[in-house]
Amino acid sequence: MTDPAAQPASRWPDLRKRALSALLLGPAALLCIWLGAEAWTALMAAAVALLAWEWVRLCGFSTKRPPGLVVPVAVLLAGVLAVGGAWLWAFAVLGVGFAGLWAIAEPPRFRRAVPGFWLAFGVVYIGLAGVALIHLRGDAVAGLRNVIFLFLIVWSSDIGAYLAGRALGGPKLAPSISPNKTWSGAGGGLVSAMAVGALSAYVMEPATVPLARVLVIAGILGLLSQAGDLFESWIKRRFNVKDSSRLIPGHGGLLDRLDGVISAAPAAALLGALLGPGEALWR
């Protein structure tokens, strides 16, 4: 029989490390969001460079030479173009980078670890997220609120899923992909994302919050965040890797920490583009 006194330690094995990592990374990200588009862009440049390095490494290649070098070069170039407002050129760089890298990484001499498709996919996967986050914060009127809204939803979805899954347990969500994820965790993450999304929107604009709309948007972004988490778990299992790197204690690498943001950011940016400049995502 399991000792009840030992259950909290076994049920929450990495909560302390997760909390410490969040306390270090969260304020740094929020500070750059608050300081403005320039500080945020500098942070994004560092983030996408590290994400690209982790992705290439995960796929079994090196960023010191082609074809792995193409991934960070393409995503950084797309980011530079996005900062300059050349959005079509940024998307063109990502598209050409993906197609070209897939073509050159596919020959037999590069097939030692992974099909070229997955290496090339990193250009789009990381590049789109970087461009999306630059676009969101670049809005001089609503950029600050929209990026905070997005990050609070992603963070609350992750925390809610972790806490609910650990506390409630139950049937596994996708045991072949991530054995520790449960349906109760997914539900807890969704509820947490919707609640925090609605609360944050109300705090930022108390007089103009359509509750049904903000709940739907927060729910969709929360689900996309969880889908990104599952995808990253699948891709690591595909390459037999536990963590994308060891940069962050308790979380592994940036890919392990930002998988939800990477998946939800393009949808948030698309919604922002459809609503137009100056509009909050929940309006």
In whole angstroms, how far apart are CA 108 and each of 68, 113, 246?
A: 15, 11, 30
Burial 220-244 (b: 16+ CB within 10 A, else e): bbbbbbbebbbebbebbeeeebeeb
232-270 pLDDT, tens digit per residue, is 999 998 888 888 888 876 668 899 889 999 999 999 999
Please indicate, yes or no, if residue 9 is contained in any of the structural domains.
Answer: no
Beta carbons within 10 angstroms of residue 206's beta carbon:
8
Q: What is the mean pLDDT of the chain?
A: 87
Beta carbons within 10 angstroms of residue 15's beta carbon:
15
* Residue 213 to residue 14: CA distance in whole angstroms: 35
Residue 85 in contact with residue 91, Cβ under 8 Å? Answer: no
Give the pLDDT band of residue 21 (cuts 50, 70, 90).
low
Q: In the prediction, which pLDDT does 113 show?
A: 44
Pair of tokens at residue 5 = 């006194």
Residue 7 has pLDDT above 50, yes or no: no
Residue 209 has pLDDT above 80, yes or no: no
Q: In the prediction, which pLDDT does 16 show?
A: 67
Please indicate, yes or no, if residue 225 is contained in any of the structural domains.
Answer: yes
Residue 208 has pLDDT above 90, yes or no: no
Please indicate, yes or no, if residue 281 is contained in any of the structural domains.
Answer: no
148-207 pLDDT, tens digit per residue, is 999 999 999 999 998 999 889 899 999 888 888 999 999 999 999 999 999 999 999 877
* Tokens 């609605």, located at residue: 198
Q: How many domains does the chain have?
A: 1
Domain that holds residue 252: 15-275
* Residue 7 to residue 139: CA distance in whole angstroms: 48
Q: In the prediction, which pLDDT does 3 show?
A: 39
CA pseudo-torsion sign 47, 53, 57, 61: positive
Please indicate, yes or no, if residue 231 is contained in any of the structural domains.
Answer: yes
Please indicate, yes or no, if residue 108 is contained in any of the structural domains.
Answer: yes
Residue 8 has pLDDT above 50, yes or no: no
* Residue 114 to residue 106: CA distance in whole angstroms: 9
Tell me the pTM: 0.89
Please indicate, yes or no, if residue 42 is contained in any of the structural domains.
Answer: yes
Please indicate, yes or no, if residue 6 is contained in any of the structural domains.
Answer: no
Residue 205 has φ and ψ, to the nearest 5°, of -145, 75
Residue 81 has pLDDT above 80, yes or no: yes
Please indicate, yes or no, if residue 280 is contained in any of the structural domains.
Answer: no
Give the pLDDT band of residue 2 (cuts 50, 70, 90).
very low
Residue 216 in contact with residue 233, Cβ under 8 Å? Answer: no
